[in-house]
Amino acid sequence: MLGTLFNTITVAMGAGIGLALRQRVPESLRTVVFSAIGLFTLYIGVDLMGGINAPVAVFVALVVGSAIGHALGVDRRLRSAADKLGTGTGAALVQSTLLFCVGAMTLVGCMRDGLENDPTILYAKGTMDLISSVFLAAALGRGVVYAAGAVLLIQGTLTLAFSTLGTGIPESMVSELSGLGGILLFGLGLDLLGVRSFPLLDLSCALPVLPIILWIIDISANF
């Protein structure tokens, strides 16, 4: 859990600095840096998508997961609840949480920390998130600060899950989950750039659905 605690602290620190400097950072600088973060998020998304080897399973998981998320109103409810803390807070919380918590570094980092007590990857990720959170908070506001709690919850849960499950998770599943995460990050990149907004939390419900789809496919193949 050391890696997750470090990452949580770096996000909180970076967001705090970003809020403190918000009025001192020129709007033009915030805009260009925010564009850079959006473009780099697109790149990470495309890179991760290259690891998908079961596109049909990923597609089905996206459709089923997004339908479940929409039915439950996950994205709408969380944004609405967060916006009660301030206008735009919900969008900032969702965008920053996805940026910090979706991706191969999160998945593999939590796996290494949980299985081998090796937080090295999460230390590196936390350092990167420190920089990103400064400019995200300067541009989006205090919703980024609340994302630190999401990092603690999500990465902490993943680390404990890997620690409990041991080595029973195949690398192929990690690869597919990372690829699905890449699709979500690509959507986030478009959102950050203002190209199009997506109900990303509804779509994120595909992540827990994908292992079930892969399990069903694996069982079917053995019959």
Determine the pLDDT at residue 107.
Answer: 74
Determine the pLDDT at residue 152.
Answer: 92
pLDDT per residue over 81-135, tens digit each?
Answer: 767 766 677 778 888 888 788 766 787 788 778 877 888 878 988 888 898 888 8
For residues 18 and 20, give the distance between their C-alpha atoms in angstroms, rounded to a whole number.
5
Residue (of 103, 104, 123) closest to 113 by Cα position: 123
pLDDT per residue over 141-179, tens digit each?
Answer: 888 888 898 899 989 988 888 788 766 667 778 788 888
For residues 172 and 158, give the distance between their C-alpha atoms in angstroms, rounded to a whole number.
17
Three-state SS letters, 173-213: HHHHHHHHHHHHHHHHHHHHCCCCCCCHHHHHCHHHHHHHH
Task: Identify the domain containing residue 112 by its residue range.
Answer: 2-221
For residues 223 and 204, give the distance between their C-alpha atoms in angstroms, rounded to a whole number.
31
Compute the 3-state secondary structure of the chain and give helix, strand, coil in percent, each to the nearest 5.
80, 0, 20
Highest mean pLDDT among 21-25, 106-110, 178-182: 178-182
Determine the pLDDT at residue 86.
Answer: 64
The number of distinct structural domains making up the chain is 1
Regarding pTM above 0.85, the answer is: no
Q: Are 11 and 133 in contact (CB under 8 A)?
A: yes
For residues 152 and 158, give the distance between their C-alpha atoms in angstroms, rounded to a whole number.
10
